[in-house]
Amino acid sequence: MNSKLCPLCQSRAAQFSVVQEVMYLECRKCDFIFADPDLLEKVDAGAPLRQYDEAYWLAELASARERSYGSSLARLAEAVLYCRVPINKVIDIGTGPGYLLDAIAAHLPSKAWHFYGVEKFPPEPGFRSESPNYRCADLADLSEKFECGVCIEVLEHLTPRMAEGLADAMRNVAVEGSLFLFNTGLTQYVRKEDPGYLDPYGRGHITCWSVTAARRIFEPRGFRVHPLRGKAWAFVLEFGSTVTPGILEDRIWTAPVCNQQLLQDASMGTLLYILGRESARAY
């Protein structure tokens, strides 16, 4: 592969930076930042940058728990309120140890059965959620259908070819109108806020996406890609939607009543409903 060509559109790319002796390139046409294509080819061939072993998970568990009981709950609540179809099942794609399921069970004990998590490379049982809805599997192997979901801190680990596989799997588990929120550092975030987000061997961040780049992967598979205003670290996918979305954040006021109720619990009150609504308005 020509090391100066974008793997998404084959346009000429320029050097962006060098991190841990790995060259990152940027394609201005796709607004896509990616590690040396030779490295991406090795990853596609099955050579992992990190082993998802006990040492990896011990390093990741603290940050995974912090996200799950904080920002990830906000992202999930937002996604539920953005979704325009009644929700029966919600999935956390690439859930890691599944702590988000535990956080949901703590805040929505009567609704926890609606929420699922899937992890292809799970930690050992002692380091992961005991939720009955935790799936140790590839998303492509699930038979359930989901109206809503989140994918948090996953996409930056994927090569374009792997992202295509994820998009194919999501299409198979989605129904008409399904909505998924992706949390990942976008190119604007890396350029203006955190260039250290690029981290090939420590955290395995080998790609940096944008709405434009994501559209090249997801739109041919039936998804519409929506930006979120003010959020340089998130975008939304909607499956099979042909309706002009307008301002996505405005949907929080007209979310289906059943979706609003999904974020409320008789014993824990309206905390997650308020969190999702206020998080959508915060940027």
| Residues 126, 8: Cα–Cα separation, whole Å | 39
Task: Look at residue 2 in the predicted model and tell me its pLDDT.
Answer: 45
Give the per-residue pLDDT at 4.
83
249-277 mean pLDDT: 96
Enclosing H/E stretch for 252? none
Kindly provide the b/e burial profile for residues 118-140, where b requires at least 16 CB atoms within 10 angstroms of the residue's own CB.
bbeebbeeebbbebebbbeeebe
Mean pLDDT of 154-163: 97
Edge-first strand listing for the sheet containing 146-152: 134-136, 115-119, 90-93, 146-152, 174-183, 234-239, 223-227
CATH number of this structure's domain 68-184+209-281, picked from the four choices 3.40.50.300, 3.40.50.150, 3.40.50.1820, 2.40.10.10: 3.40.50.150
The candidate with the shortest Cα–Cα distance to 276, out of 242, 228, 243, is 228
* pLDDT of 103 higher than 70: yes
pLDDT tens column, 40-85? 999 999 887 776 666 666 677 888 888 999 999 999 999 999 999 9
Cα–Cα distance, 37 to 34 (Å, whole number): 8
Q: What average pLDDT does range 199-221 have in this prediction?
A: 96
CA distance 64 to 123: 12
**Beta strand ranges found along the chain (DSSP E):** 14-19, 22-27, 32-35, 90-93, 115-119, 134-136, 146-152, 174-183, 207-208, 223-227, 234-239
Average per-residue pLDDT for the chain: 93
- Residues 76 and 103 sit within 8 Å (Cβ to Cβ): no
Question: What are the distances in angstroms from CA 101 to CA 77, 85, 108, 176?
Answer: 13, 22, 10, 25
Number of H helices, E strands in the chain: 9, 11
C-alpha 197: how far from chain center: 16
- For residue 3, what pLDDT is reported? 57
pLDDT at position 1 is: 45
Contact 51, 120 (CB under 8 A): no
3-class secondary-structure state, position 121: coil
3-state secondary structure of 223: strand
Residue type at position 257: V
pTM for the model? 0.94
Mean pLDDT on 208-222: 97
Amino acid 98: pLDDT: 96
**For the chain, what are the domain ranges?**
68-184+209-281
